[in-house]
Amino acid sequence: MPFIRIPFFLFLLLFSVESSAQKGTINGYINDAESRLPLNGASINITGGKGDNSDMFGKFNIPAINPGQYELIVSHIGYKTEIVPVEVKPDLLSTITINLRRSDLDLSEVRINSKKTSGLSTISAVDIKVRPVNTSQDVLRIVPGLFIAQHAGGGKAEQIFLRGFDIDHGTDIAISVDGIPVNMVSHAHGQGYADLHFLIPETVEKADFDKGPYFSSKGNLATSAYVDFSTRDFIESNSIKTEIGQFNTKRVSGMLKLFNKTNERSRQQFYIASEYSATDGYFESPQDFHRFNLMGKYNAWFGNQSQLAISASTFDSKWYASGQIPDRAVQAGIINRFGSIDNTEGGNTSRTNVNIRFNKQWKSNWKTTDQFYFSRYKFNLYSNFTFFLEDDINGDMINQRETRNIFGYTTTALKSYLIGNKRAVTELGAGFRHDDVTDIELSKANRETFFNNIQKGDVKETNSFAYINQDISLTEKLNINAGLRYDHFIFRYRDELAGAADFSKQRKGTVSPKLNISYSFSQKIKIYLNNGIGFHSNDTRVILDNQAKDILPKVYGTDLGVIIKSGKKLILKAALWHLYSLQEFVYVGDAGIVEPSGKTRRIGTDISARYQFNKWLFGDIDINLTRARAIEEAKGEDFVPLAPSFTSIGGLTAKIKNGFSGSLRYRFINSRPANETNTVSAEGYILVDMTAAYRFKKFDFTLSVENLLNRDWREAQFDTESRLSFEANPVSEIHYTPGIPRFLKAGVAFHF
């Protein structure tokens, strides 16, 4: 897909400089009326069309306004809209502070003027307010069109599907929490492995996401999308929650303020959150799953000028798994769909994070962010996908393990200013991430016996980057955003099995340009055109083994979309998009081999709608259609295995003032090719889930039902060649993990 090649900053020549003399400026701050904390993302507009969005400090600025009397309209999702009269005088700065009061969500107050061209930030904010989030899996499902599948007992990272990609465990989606990258590069199990289970769902405050390789602040792996989760800076009350469910499921979580201090100049709080969960699972062989999470976060605001956030978290989990079962074993009655061929799969994993972030508003109008993070990570997984294909005596179980330290630093600087009377924003960013992985290993082993190593060594991988992002409003309606990013990688690997004493090394850099254009016809309709180049790095081990011809394969993307606010109750977004990948390189960590493939093209459409039927009832629907094909293969042999072509998610959510709330939701994915010739299919499914809650004084009572209709469905599915112990010859067919049957869980929470 050819990229629209406009030299960086050329658009600055597209307009003439106009004088802003005799005109005035309005700036100020938007705060929460109760907490007095800055509100990021508020929409500020004046009569006549000019407007702005508040930044992380709650600050906004509307320059070059003709003198006169105006009404300032300020809105934010979940807050009551305020209309404030303001007088603009020639060559003067009018400063105002507005405190917004919280209210029930009302879509009539939502305005389509976000600086983010695709408008998904608006969709995200609505979804966070109305959708129930009970698990870390629910958190990921906030992204429209994103599907996940679990196939290793609940302790392994989920398999992800989005925009016609089988993303595996994170190869083509960049996920972060409070700026800490979740993805693991050159991971023992697969490139970009993203285990989000260290995130406690009750601590999530918002999710920032968007699709495509169009954002210069996002680098490696951000090809189909990125997702940035933010945890709460402050909690309003202490809480403890207990849940029990079928299959011996139990969970306890809580949040507690240990320090809370507020005065006119600052607000500080330190809270801790924790979670313990356990279950036997719905399989015949108990999973014996256990996970413990602990997080602490200190946050301090000093006026509207600076913010310091320090957080630390740790989690540990262990489990058994029944693995993926061959369809022929179920059809022959050897096992039922909840049985297993090898029930000793599973493993244990842990991660500890430390994160320090400082935001500063300078008198020069520059805004800076400096962040340092560290992660200590351990991974140990036992899997058996082929049973007795390779070893008819001991079986084919493998063990993957690694220990990793991650160090990272990011700095950004942003300033808004005028060029003539044209609003412009410049953002500069730079940083690095260093992964130090010891004893990254693939071995033939089971839980009792080690047989031999297949791969073993140490990886050191460093990614340094810098970017510039320029935003300019050519008119009140036309906005152009251009970015340029450079990433430089140093890959190092010491192959212990080859007897290497030193690290072999290779360097590679890549440039990623972006160009995004949006035009707002009004505050109710906007169109946008996004263009960009992204990439994902390949595994260090195969790069240095010369198996990867393209170290940093590029993805070229284009989105053409429209966002409509129809009437007072409907938000509609539709996009046509195209992604062209130069190489679908796949490293199979389970076998320590490379599955090379060539160029692919994905074309699709995304449709999202949010509708408010009345003050207490909301509806949402997402429809995603995709055609994914390999370009260099013969017709009929060009299918991309497991690429979803039709998915849809939607539901109804009710929030009633008497304390009752609930939702009824569905998710659908159609049958899709499981191999390149589409001779084997992965079965589609449609599921219905329900949640209900009631708040009585300081208590919350909850009930959730997954798979309400008790459908038989297959969660993870693969076309795999395997051999059972009594079979003379191997068989290639669908192997799958059965999806959860109807599952009831109830809980009670106490706030104090």
Instruction: Tell which wins on pLDDT, 115 or 239.
Output: 239
> Do residues 340 and 324 lie in contact, with contact meaning Cβ atoms separated by under 8 Å?
no
Residue 507 domain-assigned (yes or no): yes
Distance, in Å, from the CA atom of 418 to the CA atom of 420, rounded to the nearest integer, reads 6
Exposed / middle / buried, residue 498 (Cβ in 10 Å: 0-12, 13-18, 19+): exposed
Out of 56, 84, 103, a domain closes at 103
Cα–Cα distances in Å, from 495 out to 113, 503, 505?
53, 8, 12
What's 93's domain CATH number?
A: 2.60.40.1120
Please report the pLDDT score of residue 547 as a whole number: 57
Confidence tier at 154 by pLDDT (50, 70, 90): confident
Number of domains in the chain: 2
Q: What is the pLDDT of residues 194-221, one digit of tens each?
A: 999 999 999 998 888 999 999 999 999 9
Are residues 99 and 229 located together in one domain of the fold? no
Q: Write down the pLDDT at residue 121.
A: 64
Query: What is the C-alpha separation between 118 and 124, in angstroms, rounded?
Result: 11
> What are the two backbone dihedrals, phi and then psi, of residue 544, each rounded to the nearest 5 degrees?
-80, -10
Which class for 363: exposed (0-12), middle (13-18), buried (19 or more C-beta within 10 A)? exposed
User: Binning pLDDT at 50, 70 and 90, where does residue 16 land?
Assistant: very low
Q: How far, in whole angstroms, is CA 674 from its chain's centroid? A: 25
Q: Is residue 174 part of a domain?
A: no
> What is the per-residue pLDDT across 609-621, written as a single tens digit (0 to 9) for each?
999 999 899 999 9
Q: What pLDDT, on a 0 to 100 scale, did the predictor assign at position 593?
A: 58
The pLDDT tens digits for 92-140 are 777 889 999 988 778 877 777 655 556 666 676 677 777 766 676 678 8
| Residue 604: pLDDT over 90 | yes
Is residue 206 a contact partner of residue 474, using CB atoms and an 8 Å limit?
no
DSSP of 612-670: E-SSSEEEEEEEEEEEEEESSSPTTS-B-TT--SEEEEEEEEEE-TTSEEEEEEEEEE-
Task: Of 87, 61, 293, give the one whose Cα is nearest residue 198.
Answer: 293
Least-confidence region, from 170-174, 261-265, 675-679: 261-265
The DSSP code for 589 is T
Question: What is the DSSP annotation of 407-441?
Answer: EEEEEEEEEEEEETTEEEEEEEEEEEEEEEEEEEE
Q: Which domain holds residue 353?
A: 225-751
Q: What is the pLDDT of residue 628?
A: 96
pLDDT at 284 over 60: yes
Q: In this structure, are residues 110 and 565 in contact, taking their beta carbons and an 8 Å threshold?
A: yes
Cβ–Cβ < 8 Å for 349, 375: no
Q: Which pLDDT score is estimated for 21?
A: 52
**How many angstroms separate the CA atoms of 706 and 688, rounded?**
7
Q: What confidence category does residue 18 fall into, taking pLDDT thresholds of 50, 70 and 90? A: very low
Residue 548: the pLDDT is 56
Provide mean pLDDT across the span 648-667: 92
Residue of 584 and 567 predicted with greater confidence: 567
Last residue in a domain, options 59, 87, 103: 103
Query: Across the chain, what does the average pLDDT equal?
Result: 90
The answer to whether position 80 is within a domain reads yes
Q: Residue 47 CB: number of other CB atoms within 10 A?
A: 12
Q: How confident is the model at residue 27 (pLDDT cuts 50, 70, 90)?
A: confident
Q: How confident is the model at residue 11 (pLDDT cuts 50, 70, 90)?
A: very low
Residue 479: is its pLDDT beyond 50?
A: yes
pLDDT at 5 (0 to 100): 39
pLDDT (average), residues 156-176: 92
- For residue 116, the model assigns a pLDDT of 56
Do both 339 and 473 map to the same domain? yes
Q: What percent of the chain has pLDDT over 70?
A: 92
Residues 468 and 324 in one domain: yes
Q: Is 327 left (phi over 0), alpha (psi -120 to 50) or beta?
A: alpha
Residue 6, pLDDT > 50, answer no
Task: Count the Cβ atoms, other than its own, within 10 Å of residue 228.
Answer: 18
Domain-embedded: residue 414? yes
With respect to residue 199, please indicate whether it lies within any of the assigned structural domains.
Answer: no
Burial class (CB in 10 A: 0-12, 13-18, 19+), 698: exposed
pLDDT(90) > 90:
no
Q: pTM score, two decimals?
A: 0.93
Q: What is the pLDDT of residue 15?
A: 39
Q: What is the pLDDT of residues 500-526, one digit of tens each?
A: 999 999 999 999 999 999 998 887 899
Tens of pLDDT, residues 309-365 = 999 999 999 999 998 999 999 999 999 999 999 999 999 999 999 999 999 999 888
What average pLDDT does range 437-448 have in this prediction? 95
Distance separating alpha carbons of residues 48 and 25, to the nearest angstrom? 14
Domain end residue (candidates: 51, 79, 103): 103
Whether 388 is in a domain gets the answer yes
Of 42-51, 156-165, 173-182, 257-266, the range with the lowest mean pLDDT is 42-51
Rounded to whole angstroms, the Cα distance separating 439 from 399 reads 12
| CATH (domain of 641) | 2.40.170.20
In a domain, 667, yes or no: yes
161 lies in a domain?
A: no
